[in-house]
Amino acid sequence: MAKYKSKYVCQECGYESPKWMGKCPGCTKWNTMVEELEERAKPGETARRNISAETSRLAPITTIVGEDEPRLTTNISELNRVLGGGVVPGSLVLVGGDPGIGKSTLLLQASQELASNNNKILYISGEESAKQIKLRAERLGAASPNLYVLAETDLFLLEQQISHLMPAVVILDSIQTVFHPDVTSAPGSVAQVRECTAHLMRLAKTKDIAILIVGHVTKQGAIAGPRLLEHMVDSVLYFEGERHNTYRILRAVKNRFGSTNEIGIFEMGEDGLKEVTNPSEMFLSERSLGVAGSTVVASMEGTRPVLVELQALVTPTGFATPRRMATGVDHNRIAMIMAVLEKRVGLLLQNQDAYVNVAGGVRLDEPAIDLAVAVSLASSFRDKQTHPYDVVIGEVGLTGEVRGVSRIEQRVKEAQKLGFKRVIIPAKNVTGWEHPKGLEVVGVQTVSEALREALGG
């Protein structure tokens, strides 16, 4: 059997040390040394394992026969969307999120839906007993004879139970509670998490079992453990939202079998998580009409267009340095747009505090929201209300031009579906597609032109 030896590796420069040090001698950074596991094989024994069930052989890619294996779909369409159409057999999926956000609830509901389709599902918990899981399952209505429950943390015992049952899907809650008996580190350490995940990856590939593992997150919002953990798995899903807010967002940041940045919207209730089939309507349900600083933008989240409200508040500052605060959008992008408004449009914003917020708790990362942010800031600064049935789309350049965006037809159709009367888009995107009836499409080339259309002067 292979022997394991611990070593400490700097996560910044890769310096290795047999013991932990607070300061790395290689790059002089503090608190970057983390424990890693080094596997050494005995003479005559190989430490490398093949993740394929068969011995790998050289073969031209044209001679390899592909298998079109169907996905395991649930009745939760939002979860299927984020996964790219369903759970892929033999895949390893990592689900992360803040404590109490609803990770276990979602996976237990998904277990019930998969078990109802005559699939054997094994739910493994290292944080709850079998009786506690039973109480939560009764509250969620997740009771099926095909749903098996196991409360265990020993990795070797888990593998024995999985090999005996041979389920279609295994759900492990959570990876930080499982320990490898041959690793001397405590459960949840870097070495334990990485070695357990590698073991589960080999198990999923060799036995063609889909494994979903729950990962805790740090204070910064990243999944706890080495960054390599996200590279090892096939898909990484983040469960976002505030605990005092009923809405939750499931976001795919990595997916080898589907689109990245795809989102699913859920609402937390007494009976668990419920799907939100029309997120645009949900995000705009509490919007105030005819107020300064409010603009609606159509953003693409994966393959889905979503209409959200951008809010801006510009007010005179009482400090030497004005404040620039943003929630749901990139702070640096806001500073750039304000510089464009001051230089190209003539708005005196250097003595103004600016606050930008995306209503509903969603985060927008694409540049197509730039023009809507500019309109919101100018509307609040001039204290002139925007048209309540306008949607603004476009990217803003440093010279004040409005650049084209992708998938404009899908964005405009979503605006028409929700009853908006006019869309302000880049002039480059006006031609080349059929405009929906009953919706006015206005093309603009500069930020100044967009402000004249949106604010009437």
Confidence (pLDDT) at 36: 73
Question: Is residue 44 annotated as involved in ligand binding?
Answer: no
Tens-digit pLDDT string for the chain (457 aa): 556 677 887 766 667 888 889 998 888 888 878 777 666 555 554 444 555 545 567 889 888 877 666 899 988 999 999 999 999 999 999 999 888 888 999 999 999 999 998 999 999 999 899 999 999 998 888 888 999 999 999 999 999 999 999 999 999 998 989 999 887 777 877 778 888 999 999 999 999 999 999 987 765 555 655 566 788 899 999 988 766 677 888 989 899 988 887 889 898 888 889 998 888 988 898 888 889 999 999 999 878 899 999 999 999 998 888 999 999 999 999 999 999 999 999 999 999 999 999 988 788 989 999 999 999 999 999 999 999 999 999 999 999 999 999 999 999 999 999 999 999 999 999 999 999 999 999 999 999 999 999 998 6
The pTM for the full model equals 0.77
For residues 82 and 20, what is the distance between their CA atoms, to the nearest angstrom? 40
Question: Is residue 84 annotated as involved in ligand binding?
Answer: no
Residue that is written with structure tokens 């279609």 in the block: 168
**The one-letter amino acid at 364:** L
Which fold would CATH assign to domain 72-277? Answer: Rossmann fold (3.40.50)
Question: Is residue 272 annotated as involved in ligand binding?
Answer: no
H/E run at residue 392: strand 390-392
Question: Is residue 25 annotated as involved in ligand binding?
Answer: no
Confidence (pLDDT) at 362: 83
Confidence (pLDDT) at 270: 83
Give the tokens for residue 12: 């910044």
Backbone CA torsion sign across 80, 83, 85, 89? negative
Question: Is residue 249 annotated as involved in ligand binding?
Answer: no
Q: Kindly give the pairing relationship between strand 324-327 and strand 263-269.
A: unpaired
Q: Which CATH architecture has domain 282-455?
A: 2-Layer Sandwich (3.30)
Strand order in the sheet with 16-17: 16-17, 3-10, 33-40
Question: Is residue 207 annotated as involved in ligand binding?
Answer: no
Q: Smallest Cα–Cα separation from 284: which of 362, 386, 206? A: 362
- Which residues are within 8 A (CB) of 201 and not within 5 positions of it... i.e. 6 or more apart? 51, 92, 232, 233
Q: What's the gap between Cα 315 and its chain centre?
A: 33
Question: Is residue 91 annotated as involved in ligand binding?
Answer: no
